Amino acid sequence: MALLQISEPGQTTHPHKYRLAVGIDLGTTNSLVAAVCNGEAKVLLDEEGRSLLPSVVRFRENGDTQIGYPALAEVVNDPMNTISSAKRMIGRKTSDIKTLRDHLPYQFDDESANVPRIITVDGPRSAIEVSAEILTVLKKRAEYVLDGELDGVVITVPAYFDDAQRQATKDAARLAGMNVMRLLNEPTAAAVAYGLDEGSEGVYAIYDLGGGTFDISILRLNKGVFEVLATAGNSALGGDDMDRLIAEWILDEIDHAELSTDNQFLRQVMVVARAAKEALTDNDSTVIKLCLPEGATQDISLNRSSMNDIIAPVIDKTLLPCRRCLRDAGLDKADIDGIVMVGGSTRVCSVKEKVEAFFQRKLYTGVDPEQVVAIGAAVQADILIGNHTTGDMLLLDVIPLSLGIEIMGGMVEKIIPRNATIPVTRAQEFTTYKDGQTAMSIHVLQGERERVSDCRSLARFELRGIPPMVAGSGRVKVSFQVDADGLLSVSATEATTGTETRVDVKPSYGLTDAEVEQMLRDSIVHASDDIQARQLAERRVDADRAISALESALAVDGDAYLNESEHSALLECMKSLQRVKDKGDVDKIKQAINTLNELSGPFATRRMNASIREAMAGHNINEFSE
């Protein structure tokens, strides 16, 4: 008789067919691809035995694009067509891109555009297209090593990437012909790798400092459950900023002011600055060699102690999010069991020293900091594709910033708070503001402040088809859904008719590093002001509602149930409330509303009694009791 094969949800119905899935760390400086082979996650090597692929793309006039090491070799010779650090530009505007001596590293097709496009000899190129070229090479490497076509990939992103940057990363993968199963936060991927290799349990801080991004996440590891308690960071801070400070120092050391606008020379300075930083990881001193115009050269000596002083501001900036992350998780430094160091920039000795001094805990460096993220992603890819049948793990990640909508008075109603575990769905009911209102505008916002003007706008859409009713009677349910990739969709549904409108939030560009940091800092500094502003806005809305409702009632029944003096008194009381509302004193507005309610009470009673008499006319009381 035939046997019926039963598979676990998500696993292949062909138990002997191994599906190919990989994890990709799309990095600012270098990128990697890893896979689980024979039960072990490992980084896949190119034909020359190298694990790293430099995240550099050179566009040539004949359309023959160079990627990786060949492109890296041409950074100085062809600076305007050789694109590096594209990850720092993805999902951002031109104005967000860091400069050296106020000089942009590339020429842009339209500097005011939401999606910057770099001018090259092969046409304008966006950071999405550059990233797609890198992903294509990694895909080909994986298919060559694994001897087959890929069924799916997991791509890692910084935990502090916002919705625009995540969407742009997925777009790059689609351009490269990849099936993206999950966008996985880099610190979480690192925790997965360490959790498997070390069998660790407890509370760990994942300090991830790459070439262009910084994340700090605090996770609890317990019996295969990886729960992110809090995350913080800066999506535009990393090793590149150290290189830039060293480059600034080099430019100050040489007496050639005219070279500060020479693109080719500036790219050379950035290259030698990075080389110096890497050399001082293993040596106490190094000599920087510069090629000046007309064949001249200049040597500059730099020691590790001096470099540490130069790059100290970058490292110190990473410690501020560490403090905030601990506070958000409700933990002290003593509650942390260990620190996992991730990212190539953590090789810098001063980084290790300052992080260890800050947390006063053991640093975990057992897995190569440049490979650990790709390895964790490979493990997750193997699970999602259905190959991993034992010891499956549960990943509980979080969102970095609160999400909400605009309400009356220019205030924000938060629907999903920051550090909420994803995937997550939250809903809240709202009501109509005016009589006969048939549409509602939904304004989606991101941030920690109370006022709309202090948060970032993500999307706007309208819900139409609301049945005309008395103000406050209509009910609209607004639902927020953040998926496992951290991407947001919002829907609004009218309760009576079931009319629904929804939108996948795709902002045109991402938050700048300053905006993210400022949002969180301001939410603390201005907490008291925000509360007062919200109270004032709510009282003003209450005043407007009271005036609007009374105006409607007077227009319909004023002459029927009020004498002239009563009518005049109510009009004067409404004017008084309007004057008090405009002055902005919360207590006086509340008092004026109460005064108006008391004065209009008899009028409301007469209207209600008349309505009851009209409803009961021609009926017996027993009919209503039945």
Residues assigned a catalytic role: 25, 87, 186, 208
DSSP state of 18: P
C-alpha 409/C-alpha 127 separation (Å) is 39
C-alpha 442/C-alpha 491 separation (Å) is 9
CA 556, 559, 561, 567 torsion-angle sign: positive
Counting other chains too, the contacts that 579-583 makes at CB distance below 8 Å and 24 or more residues apart are 580/543, 581/539, 581/540, 581/543, 581/544
Partner residues linked to 218 by β-bridges: 205, 230
Q: Are strands 21-25 and 30-37 parallel, antiparallel or unpaired?
A: antiparallel
Q: What is the DSSP string of 422-477?
A: ESEEEEEEEE-SSTT--EEEEEEEESSSSBGGGSEEEEEEEEE-PPP-STTT-EEE
Whose structure tokens read 């209102």?
437
Partner residues linked to 490 by β-bridges: 480, 503
Rg (CA), the chain: 30
Q: State both tokens at 108.
A: 């842009």
Sheet holding 56-58, edge to edge: 66-67, 56-58, 82-84
Q: Are 495 and 531 in contact (CB under 8 A)?
A: no
C-alpha 134/C-alpha 143 separation (Å) is 15
C-alpha 420/C-alpha 424 separation (Å) is 8
Q: Are 199 and 126 in contact (CB under 8 A)?
A: no
Half-sphere exposure of 309 (CA within 13 A, CB side): 5
Q: What is the DSSP string of 379-429?
A: HHHHHHHT---SS--EEEEE-SS-EEEEETTTEEEEEE-TT-EESEEEEEE
With CA atoms as reference, report the closest residue to 360 among 341, 330, 324, 335: 335
C-alpha 5/C-alpha 11 separation (Å) is 12
Partner residues linked to 208 by β-bridges: 215, 342
In 3-state terms, what secondary structure has residue 40? Answer: strand
With CA atoms as reference, report the closest residue to 192 among 367, 32, 385, 56: 367
Buried b (16+ CB within 10 A) or exposed e, 312-334: eebbeebbebbebbbebbebeee
Helical packing angle, 304-329 and 513-525, nearest 10°: 50
Half-sphere exposure of 427 (CA within 13 A, CB side): 11
Helical packing angle, 349-359 and 304-329, nearest 10°: 40
